[in-house]
């Protein structure tokens, strides 16, 4: 009897072929993950499937997403799942209808697509490959979900966010409130490292991290952490470890990948907070966005989120002389990476 019930349930839920998988429909916020088959995309999709803020999870990648969606659909949460891959070639030539279906109706689009770092590579080494991927995907976002908030994970974020903005400007649909680089992992690392140093639960620590999302452009403001007074050497070590935490993981994985699991968690936290803000929650979180706080046109700082994305780019408060030194050192490099992204999008 039980096996018959399972078989009957399976027939009612599954409608699949080699290119598409969909579970039953539901109303609410749709989140699309572009690059859902990768090292970040799969655990990120898993976490989003568990989120009560998500009612439809749309997984897209060049291969494998129908199977990933089928797998995720067996998790007993309220959200439904679809999995799509690029549509086959047609004549006359047509756009990617798989990507169109993945994006249509999405409120939030999370983009972890791209190649991972390997030992010896910087985020900037990824530029030539990932810049083109992000450009193509954001063009589709502009066509099929121009009102969605974009959460860009694909590195180098300092350059890919300006690329996304330029692409959307060309399509006449750019809204600075809706284009965000996800820097949440920098905050997670800073909270974890300081929590360990203070003997506190990292969940009780909230370090503001400003600047960008690569090396020295990452600036944790440890001076603002109440009750934390490290020695100069400890402060330097914690700052550099936060800045180059990704390198620590790349080296430890010895060529087998980069920071995928922690980045998936950070991407989930960011997207879930964006969705909560859309429903009226009071959300402030760091993000890399268009900004006038410095002479860099894009900058990570605390941002207040609301129903339409970023409601306010907030200041970062008083900083120490040590932190000011890092800020002065960082800005030329950050602006260089921003200019590289803008030039790519316009050439």
- Residues paired with 16 in a beta bridge: 21
Mean pLDDT score, 231-237: 98
- Residue 27 pLDDT > 50: no
Q: What is the mean pLDDT of residues 273-288?
A: 97
Q: Is 190 exposed, middle or buried (0-12, 13-18, 19+ CB in 10 A)?
A: buried
Strand-pair category, 179-181 with 149-152: parallel
| pLDDT, average across residues 238-255 | 94
- Give the pLDDT of residue 236: 98
Beta bridge partners, 303, equal 285, 313
For residue 46, the tally of other CB atoms under 10 A from its CB is 16
Residue with tokens 């839920």: 13
pLDDT of amino acid 123 = 62
pLDDT score for 257:
86
Average pLDDT over residues 139-159: 97
Location of structure tokens 């959200």: 79
**From 49, 84, 213, 335, the catalytic residue:** 213
171-207 residue pLDDT tens:
999 999 999 999 999 999 999 999 999 999 999 999 9
H helices of 74-109, in order, are 97-103
User: Residue 150 pairs with which residues in a beta bridge?
Assistant: 109, 179
Using a pLDDT cut of 70, give the percent of the chain over it.
91
Mean of pLDDT over the chain: 91
pLDDT in tens, 248-270: 999 999 888 899 999 999 999 99
Confidence label for 28 from pLDDT (cuts 50, 70 and 90): low
> For 11-15, 106-110, 199-203, which range has the lowest pLDDT when averaged over its residues?
11-15
SS3 readout for 282-321: CEEEEEEEECCCCCCCEEEEEEEEECCEEEEECCCCCCCH
Over residues 149-171, the mean pLDDT reads: 97
The band of 26, judged by pLDDT with boundaries at 50, 70 and 90, is: very low
C-alpha pair distances (Å), 81 with each of 60, 63, 102, 150, 224? 11, 16, 10, 19, 41
In the residue annotation, 213 being an active-site residue is answered as yes
> 94 falls in which pLDDT band (50, 70, 90)?
confident
* Other CB atoms within 10 Å distance of the CB of residue 256: 12
């Amino acid at each position: 009897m039980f096996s018959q019930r399972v078989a009957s349930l399976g027939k009612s839920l599954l409608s699949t072929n080699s290119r598409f998988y969909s579970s039953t429909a539901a109303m609410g916020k749709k989140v699309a993950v572009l690059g859902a088959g990768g090292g970040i995309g799969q655990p990120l999709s898993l976490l989003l499937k568990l989120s009560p803020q998500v009612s439809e999870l749309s997984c897209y990648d060049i291969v494998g997403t129908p199977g990933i969606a089928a797998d995720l659909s067996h998790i007993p949460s309220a959200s439904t799942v679809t999995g799509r891959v690029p549509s086959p070639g047609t004549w006359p030539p047509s756009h990617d209808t798989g990507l169109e279906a993945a994006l249509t109706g999405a409120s939030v689009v999370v983009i972890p697509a791209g190649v991972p770092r390997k030992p010896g590579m910087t985020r900037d080494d990824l530029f030539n490959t990932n810049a083109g991927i992000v450009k193509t995907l954001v063009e589709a976002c502009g066509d099929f979900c121009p009102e969605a908030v974009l959460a860009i994970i694909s590195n180098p974020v300092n350059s890919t966010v300006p690329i996304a903005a330029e692409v959307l400007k060309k399509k006449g649909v750019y809204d600075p409130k809706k284009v965000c680089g996800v820097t949440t992992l920098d905050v997670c690392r800073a909270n974890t490292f300081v929590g360990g140093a203070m003997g506190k639960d990292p969940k009780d620590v909230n370090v503001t991290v400003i600047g960008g999302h690569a090396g020295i452009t990452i600036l944790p403001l440890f001076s603002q952490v109440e009750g934390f007074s490290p020695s100069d050497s400890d402060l330097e070590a914690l700052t550099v470890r936060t800045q180059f935490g990704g390198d620590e993981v790349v080296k430890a994985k010895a060529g087998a990948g980069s920071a995928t699991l922690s980045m998936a968690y950070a991407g989930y936290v960011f997207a879930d907070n964006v969705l909560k803000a859309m429903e009226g929650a009071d959300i402030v979180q760091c993000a890399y966005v268009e900004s006038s706080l410095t002479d860099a046109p894009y900058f990570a700082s605390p941002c207040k989120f609301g129903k339409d994305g970023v409601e306010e780019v907030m200041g970062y408060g008083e900083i120490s002389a040590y932190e000011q030194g890092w800020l002065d050192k960082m800005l030329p490099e950050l602006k260089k990476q921003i200019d590289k992204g803008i030039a790519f999008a316009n050439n």
